[in-house]
Structure 1
Amino acid sequence: MNSIEKQLLNEPKRIVQNVITAVILLIFIMWSLTAVDLSNFTSNGLAIAKNILLGIVTPNTDLLFTFNTNGVPYLLVETMAIAFLGTIVGAILAVPLAFLSASNIVPKPIAFLVRLFLILVRTIPAIVYGLMFIRVTGPGPFAGVLTMALTSIGMLSKLFVDVIEDLEVNILESLESIGCTPFEKIRYGIIPQLSAMFMSIVIYRYDMNLRDAAILGLVGAGGIGAPLIFAMNGYKWSEVGSILIGLMVLILIVELISNKIRNKLVRGY
């Protein structure tokens, strides 16, 4: 009997705890099932689902390959631009907030207050921010950019903090011992440790924002979401199919490219 088997046999038996956990999970599942209401599930819903599938199979090729402001390619580029600019602005604002909420960089009371602010930012859904900014700036891509930026700050700051708190402090102590200035410590001690992971996190967030930007179009914040909901409300299923095909292709391409870039960054790190 090897050491691993001995350690496994010596593990305490938690039968009671496991049974209690399983019962609690079962209760939550049964409670959740009570919210399922199939009374509104009608034949009309099945017909709509069938029409959407037929629209994907027989899309409106004119809309799919038209390069004017009403065509799918233009709307996809606009959606990409909204997600990209929103991610960049959010990342720039998230960096100082991340350092201010890192307990190994600033005093703990300051870190706690900044983290509390970031938690409050993350609690509000993106679509709520979208509705708020539309009231301020009016409908359009600018409201989408502001929404993407604000929703990105919360998540990016949280992930940045995790990376900052894993900094190798011995490097900073070595640089300080040889008389390096604070700028030199940041340039040669902090940035080389953080840059690859920061970039990987930003790319991951852009991938998420691309999907959120399409949803924000539903409330008028620019992008491809608004034409999609208009086509569905007008029962123009071939146009719905064209928009969905373009959206699926765009997300697939962006995800493949972002995964390759992130893998290279992480390996390099």
Structure 2
Amino acid sequence: MNLVEKQLYAAPKRYWYYGTLSVLIILLIAWSASTVDLSNIEQNGWSIAGSILAGIVTPDLELLFTFNKQGVAYLLLETISIAFLGTIIGSILAIPLAFLSASNIVPKPVAYLTRLLLIFIRTIPALVYGLMLIRVTGQGPFAGVLTIALISIGMLAKLYVDAIEDLDTSILESMTSIGCTTFEKIRYGIVPQLFSVFLSIMIYRFDMNLREASVLGLVGAGGIGAPLLFAMNAYRWNEAGSILIGLVILILIVELSSNKIRNKLIRG
């Protein structure tokens, strides 16, 4: 018997632990499945599902390739603009909050209070922010931009903090020993360490915000969500299929591009 087999047989037997965990998971699945009520499905539900699939397979090509304000191309451009501008604003606002949340930069009470604020910001769903801001700014893309910026701040600041707390402080100590000013330490000691990480996080968040911007149109905050909702409510499945196809293509292109850029930033 080799050392690997000896180590395997010497490992503690945790049958009770795995058995209890399996039972809990099965009970949770059964409890969750009990909430599924198929009796609420309408008699024509399957025919509607077939119509949706038919609309995706046979989209309205005129709407898909029209370049006016009612066309899919313009709506997608508006959606990506909302996501991009909202991500930029949220990224900039998250930087000072991230430094105030880093316990290795500021006193711990200040860091804890700032983190509590960020938790509160992250708690509120995007649709709730959208509904509140629409009352302030009115319906349109501006409300969508503000909503994307708000929902970005909480998560971006949280990810920024992780990068800040992993800073190599020995570089700053070396720069202090040779008489560097605070600005020089920030410019040559901190920024080079954080720039690529922050930019990678921003690109990742933009990828997520593109999906959020698509949903925000459902509450009137601009983008492609509202035309999609109107088309589905009016049972215009060909139009809905055109919008969905354009949205899927856009998200795939952005995701592939963002993954390549992030890999280059992380790996240098």
Give the corresponding residue for 1:74: 74
Q: 1:104 to 1:228 in 2, by over 3 A?
A: same
Tell me, yes or no, if structure 1 residue 145 matches structure 2 residue 145. Answer: yes
Give the Å deviation of 1:12. 2.6
- CA deviations over 1:203-228 (Å, ceiling 9, x no partner): 01000000110000011000000000
The letter for the 1-side match of 2:130 is: G
> How many angstroms apart in 2 are the aligned matches of 1:190 and 1:262?
20
> How many angstroms apart in 2 are the aligned matches of 1:125 and 1:53?
30
Matches within 5 A, 1:210-225: 210-225=210-225
- CA deviations over 1:73-117 (Å, ceiling 9, x no partner): 000000000000000000000111111101111111111111111
> How many angstroms apart in 2 are the aligned matches of 1:112 and 1:12?
40
Larger mean Cα displacement after TM superposition, 2-11 or 23-32: 2-11
Tell me, yes or no, if structure 1 residue 196 matches structure 2 residue 196. Answer: yes
> How many angstroms apart in 1 are the aligned matches of 2:167 and 2:68?
49
- CA deviations over 1:42-101 (Å, ceiling 9, x no partner): 342222221111111111111111111111100000000000000000000011111110
Larger mean Cα displacement after TM superposition, 226-235 or 177-186: 177-186
- CA deviations over 1:118-167 (Å, ceiling 9, x no partner): 00111111011000001111110000000000000011011111111111
> How many angstroms apart in 1 are the aligned matches of 2:51 and 2:5?
58
What is the Cα-based RMSD across aligned positions, in Å?
1.4
Provide the secondary structure at the position in 2 that maps to 1:39.
helix
> How many angstroms apart in 2 are the aligned matches of 1:125 and 1:204?
19
Q: 1:9 to 1:200 in 2, by over 3 A?
A: farther
> How many angstroms apart in 2 are the aligned matches of 1:8 and 1:93?
52
The letter for the 1-side match of 2:224 is: I
Give the Å deviation of 1:22. 1.9
**Which runs of no fewer than 5 residues in structure 2 stay unpaired?**
none
Give the Å deviation of 1:15. 2.1
Give the corresponding residue for 1:18: 18
Q: 1:6 to 1:84 in 2, by over 3 A?
A: farther
Give the corresponding residue for 1:238: 238
The letter for the 2-side match of 1:89 is: I
Larger mean Cα displacement after TM superposition, 3-12 or 154-163: 3-12
> How many angstroms apart in 2 are the aligned matches of 1:46 and 1:156?
42
Give the Å deviation of 1:41. 2.0
Give the corresponding residue for 2:37: 37
**Which runs of no fewer than 5 residues in structure 1 stay unpaired?**
none
Matches within 5 A, 1:42-53: 42-53=42-53
Give the corresponding residue for 1:57: 57
Give the corresponding residue for 1:173: 173
Give the corresponding residue for 1:132: 132
Provide the secondary structure at the position in 1 that maps to 2:59.
coil
Give the Å deviation of 1:11. 3.3
Q: 1:124 to 1:10 in 2, by over 3 A?
A: same
The letter for the 2-side match of 1:216 is: L
> How many angstroms apart in 1 are the aligned matches of 2:246 and 2:27?
42
Give the corresponding residue for 2:161: 161
The letter for the 2-side match of 1:237 is: W
Identity %: 70
Larger mean Cα displacement after TM superposition, 162-171 or 76-85: 162-171
